[in-house]
Amino acid sequence: METLLIRGLDALSLTLTEYQQQQLLDFVAQLAKWNNVYNFTAITDHEDMVVKHLLDSLAVAAMIKSGNVADVGTGPGLPGIPLAIVKPEVQFTLIDTNAKRVRFLHQLIHALGLKNAQAVHTRIEKHHPQPGYDQIISRAFSQIKPMVELTLHALADNGELLAMKGVFPEQEMGELTNMEVAITQIQPIKVPFLDAERHLVVLKKRNISD
Protein backbone atom coordinates (compact mmCIF):
# COMPACT_ATOMS: atom_id res chain seq x y z
CA MET A 1 0.00 0.00 0.00
CA GLU A 2 2.74 2.44 0.94
CA THR A 3 4.53 2.12 -2.40
CA LEU A 4 1.27 2.51 -4.31
CA LEU A 5 0.38 5.61 -2.31
CA ILE A 6 3.80 7.20 -2.83
CA ARG A 7 3.63 6.57 -6.58
CA GLY A 8 0.11 8.00 -6.69
CA LEU A 9 1.08 11.12 -4.75
CA ASP A 10 4.00 11.65 -7.11
CA ALA A 11 1.68 11.35 -10.13
CA LEU A 12 -0.57 13.99 -8.55
CA SER A 13 2.42 16.25 -7.77
CA LEU A 14 1.53 16.18 -4.06
CA THR A 15 4.47 16.48 -1.69
CA LEU A 16 3.52 15.29 1.79
CA THR A 17 5.37 14.70 5.02
CA GLU A 18 5.90 11.16 6.28
CA TYR A 19 3.35 11.92 8.98
CA GLN A 20 0.71 12.90 6.40
CA GLN A 21 1.43 9.78 4.37
CA GLN A 22 1.01 7.68 7.50
CA GLN A 23 -2.27 9.44 8.28
CA LEU A 24 -3.57 8.45 4.82
CA LEU A 25 -2.52 4.83 5.34
CA ASP A 26 -4.06 4.84 8.82
CA PHE A 27 -7.30 6.10 7.29
CA VAL A 28 -7.39 3.08 4.97
CA ALA A 29 -6.65 0.76 7.89
CA GLN A 30 -9.41 2.29 10.02
CA LEU A 31 -11.89 2.23 7.14
CA ALA A 32 -11.13 -1.43 6.40
CA LYS A 33 -11.48 -2.33 10.09
CA TRP A 34 -14.81 -0.58 10.66
CA ASN A 35 -16.12 -1.61 7.25
CA ASN A 36 -16.35 -5.17 8.56
CA VAL A 37 -18.92 -3.94 11.08
CA TYR A 38 -20.76 -1.14 9.29
CA ASN A 39 -20.32 -1.99 5.59
CA PHE A 40 -19.36 1.57 4.62
CA THR A 41 -17.99 0.62 1.21
CA ALA A 42 -18.15 -2.29 -1.24
CA ILE A 43 -14.42 -1.88 -1.81
CA THR A 44 -12.58 -4.18 0.60
CA ASP A 45 -9.12 -4.65 -0.95
CA HIS A 46 -6.65 -2.25 0.68
CA GLU A 47 -4.88 -1.34 -2.56
CA ASP A 48 -8.22 -0.68 -4.26
CA MET A 49 -9.06 1.61 -1.34
CA VAL A 50 -5.83 3.53 -1.92
CA VAL A 51 -6.72 4.10 -5.57
CA LYS A 52 -10.52 4.43 -5.52
CA HIS A 53 -10.82 6.28 -2.21
CA LEU A 54 -7.56 8.06 -1.38
CA LEU A 55 -6.20 8.96 -4.81
CA ASP A 56 -9.68 9.61 -6.23
CA SER A 57 -10.23 12.14 -3.42
CA LEU A 58 -6.78 13.69 -3.67
CA ALA A 59 -7.03 14.16 -7.44
CA VAL A 60 -9.08 17.32 -6.75
CA ALA A 61 -6.77 18.69 -4.01
CA ALA A 62 -5.43 21.45 -6.26
CA MET A 63 -8.94 22.89 -6.54
CA ILE A 64 -9.40 23.25 -2.78
CA LYS A 65 -8.75 26.82 -1.62
CA SER A 66 -8.17 28.24 1.85
CA GLY A 67 -11.10 28.85 4.16
CA ASN A 68 -14.01 26.63 5.16
CA VAL A 69 -15.01 23.63 3.06
CA ALA A 70 -18.02 21.34 3.53
CA ASP A 71 -18.08 17.76 2.27
CA VAL A 72 -21.77 16.94 1.84
CA GLY A 73 -22.83 13.29 1.94
CA THR A 74 -19.31 12.41 3.08
CA GLY A 75 -20.12 8.80 4.00
CA PRO A 76 -16.99 7.40 5.68
CA GLY A 77 -15.14 10.67 5.03
CA LEU A 78 -14.70 10.86 1.28
CA PRO A 79 -13.30 13.07 -0.07
CA GLY A 80 -13.17 15.16 3.13
CA ILE A 81 -10.76 13.16 5.30
CA PRO A 82 -8.00 12.69 2.68
CA LEU A 83 -8.32 16.36 1.70
CA ALA A 84 -8.15 17.47 5.34
CA ILE A 85 -4.93 15.49 5.74
CA VAL A 86 -3.20 17.12 2.78
CA LYS A 87 -4.74 20.59 3.35
CA PRO A 88 -4.14 21.31 7.06
CA GLU A 89 -4.64 25.04 6.46
CA VAL A 90 -8.26 24.47 5.38
CA GLN A 91 -11.13 23.80 7.82
CA PHE A 92 -13.35 20.88 6.75
CA THR A 93 -16.89 20.10 7.89
CA LEU A 94 -18.00 16.57 7.04
CA ILE A 95 -21.79 16.32 6.77
CA ASP A 96 -23.81 13.12 6.67
CA THR A 97 -27.31 11.97 7.59
CA ASN A 98 -26.24 8.56 8.90
CA ALA A 99 -25.51 8.51 12.63
CA LYS A 100 -23.25 5.44 12.46
CA ARG A 101 -21.08 7.03 9.81
CA VAL A 102 -20.81 10.26 11.81
CA ARG A 103 -19.83 8.34 14.96
CA PHE A 104 -17.13 6.63 12.92
CA LEU A 105 -15.96 10.03 11.65
CA HIS A 106 -15.72 11.44 15.19
CA GLN A 107 -13.55 8.48 16.19
CA LEU A 108 -11.51 8.70 12.99
CA ILE A 109 -10.81 12.43 13.31
CA HIS A 110 -9.57 11.85 16.85
CA ALA A 111 -7.47 8.81 15.90
CA LEU A 112 -5.80 10.66 13.01
CA GLY A 113 -5.14 13.75 15.12
CA LEU A 114 -6.92 16.06 12.68
CA LYS A 115 -7.37 19.55 14.10
CA ASN A 116 -9.00 20.94 10.96
CA ALA A 117 -11.96 18.59 10.59
CA GLN A 118 -15.31 18.12 12.27
CA ALA A 119 -18.24 15.80 11.57
CA VAL A 120 -21.85 16.95 11.67
CA HIS A 121 -24.92 14.69 11.75
CA THR A 122 -27.60 16.56 9.82
CA ARG A 123 -29.36 16.96 6.51
CA ILE A 124 -27.72 19.67 4.43
CA GLU A 125 -31.09 21.34 3.74
CA LYS A 126 -31.47 21.88 7.49
CA HIS A 127 -27.90 23.11 7.95
CA HIS A 128 -27.51 26.89 7.92
CA PRO A 129 -23.89 27.84 8.71
CA GLN A 130 -23.00 31.45 9.44
CA PRO A 131 -21.12 32.54 7.48
CA GLY A 132 -21.62 30.19 4.55
CA TYR A 133 -18.94 27.81 3.31
CA ASP A 134 -16.28 29.02 0.91
CA GLN A 135 -16.55 25.74 -0.98
CA ILE A 136 -18.94 22.80 -0.87
CA ILE A 137 -17.71 19.55 -2.40
CA SER A 138 -19.49 16.25 -2.89
CA ARG A 139 -19.15 13.01 -4.74
CA ALA A 140 -22.38 11.66 -3.22
CA PHE A 141 -24.92 13.27 -5.57
CA SER A 142 -25.80 11.32 -8.71
CA GLN A 143 -26.99 14.54 -10.38
CA ILE A 144 -25.73 18.13 -10.19
CA LYS A 145 -29.20 19.76 -10.08
CA PRO A 146 -30.26 18.32 -6.70
CA MET A 147 -26.82 19.17 -5.30
CA VAL A 148 -27.42 22.81 -6.27
CA GLU A 149 -30.97 22.81 -4.94
CA LEU A 150 -30.03 21.33 -1.57
CA THR A 151 -26.69 23.02 -0.86
CA LEU A 152 -26.74 26.50 -2.40
CA HIS A 153 -28.18 28.13 0.74
CA ALA A 154 -25.13 26.98 2.74
CA LEU A 155 -22.64 28.61 0.34
CA ALA A 156 -21.01 31.98 0.92
CA ASP A 157 -21.84 34.70 -1.61
CA ASN A 158 -18.54 34.24 -3.44
CA GLY A 159 -18.34 30.52 -2.77
CA GLU A 160 -18.03 27.56 -5.11
CA LEU A 161 -19.82 24.25 -5.50
CA LEU A 162 -17.51 21.41 -6.54
CA ALA A 163 -19.33 18.41 -8.01
CA MET A 164 -17.20 15.29 -8.43
CA LYS A 165 -18.48 13.42 -11.47
CA GLY A 166 -17.54 10.49 -13.66
CA VAL A 167 -18.12 10.95 -17.40
CA PHE A 168 -18.55 14.43 -18.86
CA PRO A 169 -21.99 15.53 -17.54
CA GLU A 170 -23.32 17.15 -20.72
CA GLN A 171 -27.02 16.40 -20.10
CA GLU A 172 -26.83 17.59 -16.50
CA MET A 173 -25.45 20.96 -17.54
CA GLY A 174 -28.59 21.63 -19.58
CA GLU A 175 -30.71 21.06 -16.47
CA LEU A 176 -29.09 24.04 -14.72
CA THR A 177 -30.72 26.64 -16.98
CA ASN A 178 -32.43 29.40 -14.97
CA MET A 179 -30.85 28.24 -11.72
CA GLU A 180 -28.85 30.57 -9.50
CA VAL A 181 -25.50 29.10 -10.48
CA ALA A 182 -23.10 29.41 -13.35
CA ILE A 183 -20.61 26.75 -14.40
CA THR A 184 -17.17 28.33 -14.30
CA GLN A 185 -15.07 25.26 -15.03
CA ILE A 186 -15.29 21.59 -15.96
CA GLN A 187 -11.94 20.07 -15.14
CA PRO A 188 -10.97 16.59 -16.38
CA ILE A 189 -9.41 14.70 -13.47
CA LYS A 190 -6.83 11.95 -13.86
CA VAL A 191 -6.78 9.49 -10.97
CA PRO A 192 -3.52 7.51 -10.93
CA PHE A 193 -3.92 3.77 -11.65
CA LEU A 194 -7.64 4.19 -12.41
CA ASP A 195 -8.89 3.63 -15.95
CA ALA A 196 -12.10 5.63 -15.65
CA GLU A 197 -13.32 9.10 -16.56
CA ARG A 198 -13.45 11.70 -13.81
CA HIS A 199 -14.49 15.36 -13.98
CA LEU A 200 -14.82 18.16 -11.47
CA VAL A 201 -17.61 20.64 -12.19
CA VAL A 202 -17.12 24.06 -10.54
CA LEU A 203 -20.16 26.30 -10.07
CA LYS A 204 -20.64 29.76 -8.56
CA LYS A 205 -23.70 31.68 -7.45
CA ARG A 206 -25.12 34.16 -9.91
CA ASN A 207 -28.07 36.52 -10.06
CA ILE A 208 -31.00 34.94 -11.89
CA SER A 209 -31.23 38.06 -14.09
CA ASP A 210 -27.62 37.73 -15.32
Count the neighbouring beta carbons within 10 Å of the beta carbon of residue 144: 23
- Residue of 89, 90, 78 whose CA lies nearest to 30: 78
Give 109: exposed, middle or buried? Use CB within 10 Å, 0-12, 13-18, 19+. buried
- Tell me whether strands 133-138 and 155-165 are parallel, antiparallel or unpaired: parallel
- Residue 108 within a domain: yes
Residue at 11 is within a domain:
yes
Q: What is the pLDDT of residue 207?
A: 58
* Residue 210 placed within a domain: no
157: helix, strand or coil: strand
pLDDT at 208: 47
Does 85 reside within a domain?
yes
Q: What are phi and psi of 157, to 5 degrees?
A: -55, -40
pLDDT of residue 177: 84
180 domain-assigned = yes
Question: How many domains are contained in the chain?
Answer: 1
Quote the Cα angle for 5-75-47, to 5°. 25
pLDDT tens series, the chain, 210 aa: 999 999 999 999 999 999 999 999 999 999 999 988 888 898 989 999 999 999 999 999 999 998 999 999 999 999 999 999 999 999 999 999 999 999 999 999 999 999 999 999 999 999 999 999 999 999 999 999 999 999 999 999 989 999 999 999 988 988 998 899 999 999 999 999 999 999 999 999 875 444
What is residue 122's predicted lDDT score, i.e. its pLDDT?
A: 98
How many Cβ atoms from other residues are within 10 Å of residue 210's Cβ?
6
114 assigned to some structural domain: yes
Q: What is the CATH number of the domain that holds 134?
A: 3.40.50.150
For residue 8, how many other CB atoms are within 10 A of its CB? 22
**13 within a domain of the structure (yes/no):** yes
Output 174-179 pairs: Cβ under 8 A, ≥24 positions apart: 175/143, 175/144, 175/145, 176/144, 176/145, 176/148, 176/203, 178/208, 179/145, 179/148, 179/149
Q: What are phi and psi of 183, to 5 degrees?
A: -75, 120
Enclosing domain of residue 45: 2-205
Does residue 9 belong to any structural domain of this protein?
A: yes
Q: Give me the DSSP letters along 86-104.
A: H-TTEEEEEEES-HHHHHH
- Could you tell me the end-to-end alpha-carbon distance of the chain, in angstroms, rounded to an integer? 49
